[in-house]
């Protein structure tokens, strides 16, 4: 019988989550039935979207939901064999047994490190790509503003926008991240912790903003609304600023009327038809070194709550993951 450890939510956080809101539980895994596989997770994806679910949606005393990338250890399913890479939404676990139909086989390019299938080649990359192309209707030559531009989604969005011929303005929260983003070729980078975003964005966008890829909401969104060009598009991927705190709210939404601005929330299933195009373009960019990425790795399932809190505090650069022993 195989054992696994997993993270459970035991208390709903009020504001920023604390480590004591979570526990590590050890469980015994069932034997494999026909059509099932045993998966060893290698990378847990740590995502901002987990935060609102802690308040509503995530059950208490149950495994914390989330995505992971792993390898098949044993299989009784004809579609999977030992060593296959798979992605699944089975939560914060070391190992698990699942029906093969709930596992997505990852056709990993052998020239790329496996972990990129958890971010640039995974959900983060696809959301960045589709959010700009399909939701933001970005066109070459436009002015694109990306918030949390050094984050896992933001850093890809920023680079995709550059590769597609746009001027890109990014915001981030530390000088190290500013330096990294400048090295990626962004046209302007704002450290919003050093200066009010409103003033900094006004200076950084002399040509206004045609597309705002929003990961933040709140003050960033207010500042962007002041700078949107006529018929501008705001693709809302996340609103991390609103997940933990009582909010003041966005006070200048009426700017969208005369600006005829379109604000649209989205999730990846809205543009699955772009997946093939995304996969092909992004693989090429990665192999050519045209897309750079960074990873922040915490080690061991027991550190997953710390990783989530660090993410919500903006302590990561690039994709936050927890690495599990293979």
Q: How is residue 236 written in tokens? A: 């809302």
Dist. CA 75–CA 39, nearest whole Å: 9
Min separation Cβ 285 and its own copies, Å = 26
Nearer to its own copies, 165 or 249 (CB): 249
Residue with tokens 């005369």: 258
**Which residues in the 189-228 window bind its own copies by CB under 8 A?**
217, 221-222
- Segment holding 17, helix H or strand E: none
**3-class DSSP assignment, residue 264:** strand
By the rule CB under 8 A, 253 interacts with its own copies: yes
Dist. CA 243–CA 222, nearest whole Å: 17
Question: Is residue 223 within 8 Å of residue 197, measured between CB atoms?
Answer: yes
Nearer to its own copies, 43 or 243 (CB): 243
Dist. CA 138–CA 142, nearest whole Å: 7
Among positions 28, 258, 289, 326, the unique one binding its own copies when judged by CB under 8 A: 258
β-pairing, 143-146 vs 209-214, is parallel
By the rule CB under 8 A, 35 interacts with its own copies: no
Which DSSP state fits 151?
B
Nearer to its own copies, 144 or 225 (CB): 225
Min separation Cβ 52 and its own copies, Å = 7
Listed ranges 7-15, 79-87, 170-178, 245-253: which one lies at the site for its own copies (CB under 8 A): 245-253
Dist. CA 215–CA 217, nearest whole Å: 6
**Cα separation of the two ends of the chain:** 18
Among positions 79, 247, 277, 313, the unique one binding its own copies when judged by CB under 8 A: 247
Among positions 109, 270, 302, 315, the unique one binding its own copies when judged by CB under 8 A: 270
Dist. CA 54–CA 41, nearest whole Å: 22
Question: Is residue 220 within 8 Å of residue 184, measured between CB atoms?
Answer: no
Among positions 257, 273, 288, 326, the unique one binding its own copies when judged by CB under 8 A: 257
Nearer to its own copies, 85 or 261 (CB): 261
Among positions 141, 165, 196, 249, the unique one binding its own copies when judged by CB under 8 A: 249
Among positions 75, 152, 159, 242, the unique one binding its own copies when judged by CB under 8 A: 242
The residues of the shown chain that bind its own copies, judged by CB under 8 A, are 52, 217, 221-222, 236-239, 242-243, 247-251, 253-267, 270
């Amino acid at each position: 019988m195989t054992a696994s450890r997993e993270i459970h939510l035991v208390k709903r956080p009020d504001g920023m989550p604390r480590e004591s809101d979570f526990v590590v539980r050890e469980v015994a895994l069932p034997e494999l039935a026909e059509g099932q596989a045993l998966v060893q997770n290698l990378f847990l994806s740590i995502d901002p979207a987990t935060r609102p679910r802690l308040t509503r949606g995530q059950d208490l005393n149950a495994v914390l939901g989330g995505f992971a990338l792993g390898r098949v250890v044993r299989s009784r399913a004809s579609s999977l064999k030992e060593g296959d890479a798979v992605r699944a939404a089975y939560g914060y676990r070391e190992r698990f047994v699942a029906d093969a139909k709930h596992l997505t086989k990852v056709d990993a390019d052998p020239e790329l490190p496996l972990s990129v299938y958890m971010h640039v080649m995974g959900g983060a990359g696809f959301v960045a790509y589709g959010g700009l192309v399909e939701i933001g209707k970005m066109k070459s030559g436009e002015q694109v503003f990306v918030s949390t531009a050094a984050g896992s989604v933001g850093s890809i969005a920023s680079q995709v926008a550059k590769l597609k011929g746009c001027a890109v303005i990014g915001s981030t929260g530390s000088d190290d991240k500013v330096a990294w983003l400048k090295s990626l070729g962004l046209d302007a980078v704002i450290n919003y912790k050093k200066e009010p975003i409103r003033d900094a964005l006004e200076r950084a966008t002399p040509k206004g903003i045609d597309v705002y890829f929003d990961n933040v909401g709140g003050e960033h969104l207010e500042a962007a609304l002041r700078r949107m060009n006529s018929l501008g598009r705001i693709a809302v991927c996340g609103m991390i600023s609103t997940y933990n705190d009582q909010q003041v709210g966005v006070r200048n939404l009426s700017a969208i009327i005369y600006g005829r601005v379109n604000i649209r929330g989205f999730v990846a299933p809205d543009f699955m038809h772009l997946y093939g195009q995304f996969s092909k373009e992004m693989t090429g960019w990665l192999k050519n070194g045209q897309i750079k990425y960074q990873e922040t790795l915490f080690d061991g399932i027991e550190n997953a709550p710390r990783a989530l809190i660090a993410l919500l505090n903006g302590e990561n650069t690039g994709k936050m993951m927890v690495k599990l022993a293979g």
